[in-house]
Amino acid sequence: MLAILCSGQGHQHPAMFALTAEAPEAADIFAAATQALDGRDPRQMVRDVDDAAIHTNGVSQILCCTQALAAFALLRPSLGSKLVLAGYSVGELASWGCAGLFSPQATLALAKTRAAVMDDASGPADGLGFVGGLDRKAVEALCRCHDAAIAIVNPNDVFVVGGAIENVAALCAAALAAGAARVGRLKVSVASHTPRLAAAAPRFRKALDAAAPTPRLAPGLRLFSGIDGSAVLSIPGGLDKLAAQICQTIDWAGCLDACVEVGVDTILELGPGNALATMAANAYPGINARALDDFRSLIGVEAWLAKAEA
pLDDT beneath 70: ranges in the chain: none
**Residues across the chain:** 310
Percent of the residues in the chain that have a pLDDT greater than 70, as a whole number: 100
Residue 31: what pLDDT? 98
Enter the DSSP assignment of 217: P
Residue 108: what pLDDT? 98
- CATH superfamily of the 2-121+195-309 domain: Malonyl-Coenzyme A Acyl Carrier Protein, domain 2 (3.40.366.10)
Residue 50: what pLDDT? 86
For the stretch 32-69, what's the b/e string if a residue is b when 16 or more beta carbons lie within 10 angstroms of its beta carbon?
A: bbbebbeebbbbebbeeeeeeebbbbbbbbbbbbbbbb
Residue 51: what pLDDT? 87
CATH code linked to domain 126-185: 3.30.70.250
Q: What φ, ψ does residue 266 adopt, rounded to 5°?
A: -135, 135
Domain ranges of the chain: 2-121+195-309, 126-185
